Amino acid sequence: MKAAVIVFPGSNCDRDMMVGIEHSLGRKPEMVWHKETELPDVDFIAVPGGFSYGDYLRCGAMSAHSPIMREVVKKANQGVRVLGVCNGFQILTEAGLLPGVLMRNAKLRFICKDVHLKVENAETEFTNKYSAGQAIRVPVAHHDGNFFADDETLAALEGNGQVAFRYCDAAGNVTDEANINGSRNNIAGILNEKKNVLGMMPHPERLCDTQLGGTDGKPMFDALVEALS
Amino acid sequence: MSEITPEIVAEHGLSADEWKLCLEIMGREPNLNELGIFSVMWSEHCSYKSSKKWLKTLPTEAPWVICGPGENAGIIDIGDNQAIIFKMESHNHPSYIEPYQGAATGIGGILRDVFTMGARPICNLNALRFGEPDHEKTRHLVSGVVEGIGGYGNCVGVPTVAGECEFHKSYNGNNLVNAMAVGLADADNIFYSAAAGVGNPVVYFGSKTGRDGIHGATMASAEFTEDSEEKRPTVQVGDPFTEKLLIEATLELMKTGSIVAIQDMGAAGLTSSSFEMASKGGVGVELELDQVPMREEGMTPYELMLSESQERMLVILKPGMEDVAKAVMDKWDLEFAVIGKLTDTGNMVLKWNGEVVGDLPIDPLALASPEYDRPWVKTERPAEVKAADVESNVGRIDALKTLISHPNMASKRWIWEQYDHMVMGDTVGRPGGDSALVRVHGTNKGVAVTSDCTPRYCYQDPFEGGKQIVAETYRNITAVGAVPMAVTDNLNFGNPERPEIMGQIVGCIEGIGEACRTLNYPIVSGNVSLYNETNGTGILPTPTLGAVGLIQNIDDAASVAFKKEGQAIVVLGETTGWLGASRYLEVLCGREEGAPPPVDLDQELKTGNFVREQILAGVETCHDISDGGLAVALAEMAMAGNIGCSVDIPANVDQAYAWLFGEDQGRYIVTIDADKAGEFVIKAGEAGVVANIIGQTGGSDVVLGGESVSVAELKDLHESWMPTYMAAGE
């Protein structure tokens, strides 16, 4: 796998993403500054979390217009795998690679904690090392993770197997109580129609290391490395 | 330039004596620009004039100290050419007037103190103190301060990993926001602030300068009165996005080899940074103030010198390196301007479009700042409270339930879940333990960090209280298995012009000094916040300490959670049932009185060394005993591990409540496999440490001498107070 991590001004999970990928890949991905106009030859692009452009205007809105994003969109349309985490997810929706928007959390507060995610679609190159219905533990850290899409879009996402993860309890039950930010249908992560682009609010890269308290995020990067080797 | 009237002098906070000294130094009447500079340089906040005499008595040296007080932050050596740079600083006054921005800019400022010296910040801590929960302003202040800290820290991407939060009526009119930043640097690539090299360019980078925060340092050096609301415009506004760019740009600039000296612009902005750099380097400076990047039209030299606009740095470059530095700032879209040069005059010459608008001698002003030996009276140690004289009608389980759900003891999860405590991918020990544990990136070493203060002890007996805080940080670091290395102090007190307050300051500093000397645990940085009073009512003496320790292998670290059923519970240290100034006495008996528990520092050292040895030898569960005593510590361990415990009250104990809730110092709880517990107790005895097996882990209840409560119920009580309290205001 040839991987790149995009770095925007205000990205702050770029190093975490690099380390997360390195755990599975065995070497560092390329770090690409947002002012670049060309991407190296890669088959996996990660758009990391953070506060690109300070979340000013609207989360992800400014970054979506960075020079490098034209290239990311082009590659995504050619089938290159793209993962957007947290602010990266917001950027991918602003760039039009994924539907819906991420609104302010229902309780209007930043939330940083481990949550459980039910794996809804375990047949993608991102998720095939999990089993369908499995509950995995992954941290969230966001202020604007409340996924919203209109009824029609939502029906399409559900109908096409584009919902990758939902917030659930430790036993895998998708409940209102487990829906930490008020997302529609408890959605924590979605895929595009071709399933080569995944956006998710939780941070799989933060739990790839036993010293940090868990490794439930690692199978995602293992799966990508296996698919792209 | 307007004539300087006595009113103008008074508005600038200068006393009659200080004005006289000012005239002597200048040899003439200063103009308004110059007076403004005197005002901020000699403010309590910048000059430490009331506390300097006593701060000098603190121990600041050890073989592992690279840099002690006097620079932007303290530095310790953690081996392998790595250094930890850290400091704690208050942002009390601004946070009361404007909680969100006041707290946010406190985080920004302390981060700059650390990365200015070449460190990448690796974690933040904060110690918060608010008025009574029922006070009309408290909820609003908690909400704003927490949101401000989170808003800033989360955006810059530095994890906030530990802290404390306490409520007391003495903070009704003066909340405390003490923020600590910890950074990691290469020990051979540290940057200092002493300017050098006549002719070298003085360069400004970061944000533009606006009119915000003018006279913030002067405000922070006065008591609050009814009209403090009017001081809102003196609170600065933070931009964490720019700070994030500033961190990256500064660290990148530091790799170019172009820097002679560097300093951030904090309190008193350009004035303080330029004077300190020049004074330390023994050089003069000429500033072209019209070259300063300005955010607003029509700014004056006076405003430019005193503005406390955030996210700004001052750097002395090597000759000819301007283009290299500018390229870095262009990459990060930050302002860059050459605003002057170093001279050999020893004077600060301020120019505005070529015309001299100020000319002040640097050293006399910076070094001759007043130092007061303010009169003080010693706080007499109050009488001891005998356990037998404490009336207790509440059963032990009800007492435990009341304590763990009391505002000061309840879980502060509501706060720390609003802070990103995991970003940077090295938070091994998350908030909620004795110390947070942050891995040194790319290694297996861990840095343990904690912040502590027990103001109620300090109020009753400043000297013993001061000792106790040091010992408490020492225990918190020890309880995870790390070696306590050094301390930063953030001394918050009331008005030092009152002898009883000055007595608290002196007593606490002496107690802190004695403990740090005995424990070989130097103070390497700090900050003083005085005048925390409103209409003559002062806060409890609150000398908050932040501490850093090191563990060589994080896989050895212990944590508070019970991990196995059937282990023996061992208490290390002596339990006498000390209830004076305890939480039990305060919360269950409504009595805030009595001599606080004494700290035996020599014993502290012995017990600490033994605990650390045993953790490295395999003990996995350890917790120090502090507020609420043994019973609360056991409950915390049970709640963290979801495993119950059962303890027996020794037959020779007369008052079970004193044994359960007394706050005798120097104690830890550890768990040991049952078959090895006897041997462990013998080993402790050989090391000179009292050890008693008091019970065992297991089950789903906490059982105290036959009376029980489920861990689930305790958890529910412990976790629900703060969310319920905060929700009531929504």
User: How far are the Cα atoms of A224, B228, B445, B505, B522 from residue B535, in angstroms, in the given order?
Assistant: 64, 11, 49, 20, 36
A53 part of contact set with chain B, CB < 8 Å? yes
B687 has pLDDT over 80: yes
Q: Which residues of A touch B420 (CB under 8 A)?
A: 110, 112, 141
Residue B225: predicted pLDDT: 65
Q: Each residue of B426-466: pLDDT tens digit?
A: 999 999 999 999 999 999 999 999 999 999 999 999 999 99
Q: Which residues of A touch B417 (CB under 8 A)?
A: 111-113
Q: Is the pTM of this model over 0.90?
A: yes
Instruction: Check B333 against A111: CB less than 8 A apart.
Output: no
B245 part of contact set with chain A, CB < 8 Å? yes
Task: Give the burial class of B591: count Cβ atoms within 10 A of its Cβ; 0-12 exposed, 13-18 middle, 19 or more buried.
Answer: middle
Tokens of B155: 């955006």
Mean pLDDT of all residues in B356-362: 96
Closest by Cβ to B418, choosing from A54, A110, A206? A110
Mean pLDDT of all residues in B236-261: 96
Instruction: Check B417 against A13: CB less than 8 A apart.
Output: no
Range list of β-strands (E), B116-248: 120-130, 160-167, 176-186, 201-206
Q: How confident is the model at residue B340 (pLDDT cuts 50, 70, 90)?
A: very high
Q: Each residue of A2-32: pLDDT tens digit?
A: 999 999 999 999 999 999 999 999 999 999 9
B621 touches B670 (CB < 8 A):
yes
Interface test with A, best of B244, B311, B420 (most A CBs within 10 A): B420
Mean pLDDT of all residues in B106-129: 97
Mean pLDDT of all residues in B295-313: 92
Residue B216: predicted pLDDT: 61
Catalogue the active-site residues of A.
Answer: 86, 203, 205
Residue with the two structure tokens 């670091």: B477
Question: Could you give phi then psi for residue A18, rounded to 5 degrees?
Answer: -60, -45
To the nearest whole Å, the CA of A175 is away from the closest chain B CA by 20
Q: Which residues pair with B702 in a beta bridge?
A: B645, B709
Q: Alpha helix (H) ranges present in B231-298?
A: 240-253, 269-281
CA distance linking residue B661 with residue B639, whole number of Å: 18
Please compute Rg for chain B using Cα positions: 26
Residue B1: predicted pLDDT: 45
To the nearest whole Å, the CA of B143 is away from the closest chain A CA by 10
Nearest Cα residue in chain A from B557: A211
Count how many Cα atoms sit within 13 Å of the Cα of residue B380 in the half-sphere of its side chain.
3
Count other C-beta atoms under 10 Å from residue A152's C-beta: 9
Count other C-beta atoms under 10 Å from residue B400's C-beta: 26
Mean pLDDT of all residues in A85-93: 97
B691 has pLDDT over 80: yes
Query: Please, what is the Cα angle at A141 between A137 and A146, to 5 degrees?
Result: 95
CA distance linking residue B155 with residue A51, whole number of Å: 6
B420 part of contact set with chain A, CB < 8 Å? yes
Interface test with B, best of A90, A110, A181 (most B CBs within 10 A): A110
A143 part of contact set with chain B, CB < 8 Å? yes
Residue B169: predicted pLDDT: 97
User: How far are the Cα atoms of A131, A140, A170, B79 from residue A175, in angstroms, in the given order?
Assistant: 20, 17, 11, 49
Q: Residues of B annotated as binding site for Mg(2+)?
A: 89, 113, 264, 527
Q: What is the dihedral of CA B695, B699, B702, B706, to 10 degrees?
A: -70
To the nearest whole Å, the CA of A169 is away from the closest chain B CA by 17
Instruction: Check A54 against B155: CB less than 8 A apart.
Output: yes
Mean pLDDT of all residues in B407-423: 98
Q: How confident is the model at residue A226 (pLDDT cuts 50, 70, 90)?
A: very high
Nearest Cα residue in chain A from B143: A109
Residue B230: predicted pLDDT: 57
Task: Name the strand (E) or helix (H) holding B144.
Answer: helix B138-156
Instruction: Check A50 against B555: CB less than 8 A apart.
Output: no
Would the CA dihedral through B453, B454, B460, B466 be positive or negative? negative
Mean pLDDT, all residues of chain A: 96
Instruction: Check A51 against B430: CB less than 8 A apart.
Output: no
Give the domains, in start order, of chain A with CATH numbers. Answer: 3-227 (3.40.50.880)
Nearest Cα residue in chain A from B445: A211
Dihedral-angle region of residue A96 (phi above 0 means left; psi in -120 to 50 means alpha; beta otherwise): left
Q: Tell me if residue B86 falls in helix, strand or coil.
A: strand
Q: Alpha helix (H) ranges present in B642-697?
A: 656-661, 677-686
CA proximity to B111, closest of B141, B140, B65, B73 = B73
Mean pLDDT of all residues in B638-663: 97
With a CB cutoff of 8 Å and minimum separation 6, the contacts of B10 are none
Residue B234: predicted pLDDT: 64
Would the CA dihedral through B493, B496, B501, B507 be positive or negative? positive
Residue B231: predicted pLDDT: 55
A228 part of contact set with chain B, CB < 8 Å? no
With a CB cutoff of 8 Å and minimum separation 6, the contacts of B3 are none
CA proximity to B667, closest of B642, B638, B634, B695 = B634
Q: Each residue of B471-487: pLDDT tens digit?
A: 999 999 999 999 999 99
Would the CA dihedral through B655, B661, B662, B668 be positive or negative? positive
A170 part of contact set with chain B, CB < 8 Å? no
Nearest Cα residue in chain B from A52: B241
To the nearest whole Å, the CA of B679 is away from the closest chain A CA by 31
Q: Which residues of A touch B428 (CB under 8 A)?
A: 211-213
Kindly give the interhelix angle for B711-727 and B629-641, rounded to the nearest 10 degrees. 90
Residue A180: predicted pLDDT: 97
Higher pLDDT among residues B515 and B229, named by residue:
B515
B247 has pLDDT over 80: yes
Would the CA dihedral through B96, B97, B100, B105 be positive or negative? negative
Dihedral-angle region of residue B353 (phi above 0 means left; psi in -120 to 50 means alpha; beta otherwise): left
CA proximity to A217, closest of A125, A140, A142, A137 = A137
Mean pLDDT of all residues in B382-392: 92
What whole-number percentage of chain B has pLDDT above 90? 87
With a CB cutoff of 8 Å and minimum separation 6, the contacts of B332 are A9, B245, B246, B248, B249, B252
Q: Which residues of A touch B147 (CB under 8 A)?
A: 109-110
Q: Which residues of A touch B555 (CB under 8 A)?
A: 211
Residue B230 Cα to chain centre, angstroms: 28
Q: Which residues of B touch A9 (CB under 8 A)?
A: 241, 244-245, 332-333
Mean pLDDT, all residues of chain B: 94
Concatenating the DSSP letter of every residue in B267-283 gives: TTHHHHHHHHHHHHHT-
Residue B227: predicted pLDDT: 59
Q: Each residue of B516-568: pLDDT tens digit?
A: 999 999 999 999 999 999 988 899 999 999 999 999 999 999 999 999 999 99
Residues 130-149 (B) with a CB less than 8 A from some CB of A: 147
Count other C-beta atoms under 10 Å from residue A111's C-beta: 19
B359-382 b/e (C-beta count within 10 Å ≥ 16 → b): bbbbebbbebbeebebebeebebe
Residue B13: predicted pLDDT: 87
Tokens of A138: 């992954």
Residue with the two structure tokens 């009341």: B402
B335 has pLDDT over 80: yes
Task: Name the strand (E) or helix (H) holding B262.
Answer: strand B259-264
Residue B381: predicted pLDDT: 96
B244 part of contact set with chain A, CB < 8 Å? yes
Task: Please count the residues of chain B.
Answer: 730
Task: Give the burial class of B25: count Cβ atoms within 10 A of its Cβ; 0-12 exposed, 13-18 middle, 19 or more buried.
Answer: middle
Extents of the domains making up chain B = 558-730
Interface test with B, best of A12, A66, A86 (most B CBs within 10 A): A12
To the nearest whole Å, the CA of A130 is away from the closest chain B CA by 23
Mean pLDDT of all residues in B323-339: 97
For B558-730, CATH number out of 3.10.129.10, 1.20.210.10, 3.40.640.10, 3.90.650.10 equals 3.90.650.10
A209 part of contact set with chain B, CB < 8 Å? yes
Residue B215: predicted pLDDT: 67
Q: Each residue of B159-185: pLDDT tens digit?
A: 999 999 999 999 999 999 999 999 999
Count how many Cα atoms sit within 13 Å of the Cα of residue B418 in the half-sphere of its side chain.
21
ipTM for the predicted complex comes to 0.97
Q: Each residue of A171-221: pLDDT tens digit?
A: 999 999 999 999 999 999 999 999 999 999 999 999 999 999 999 999 999
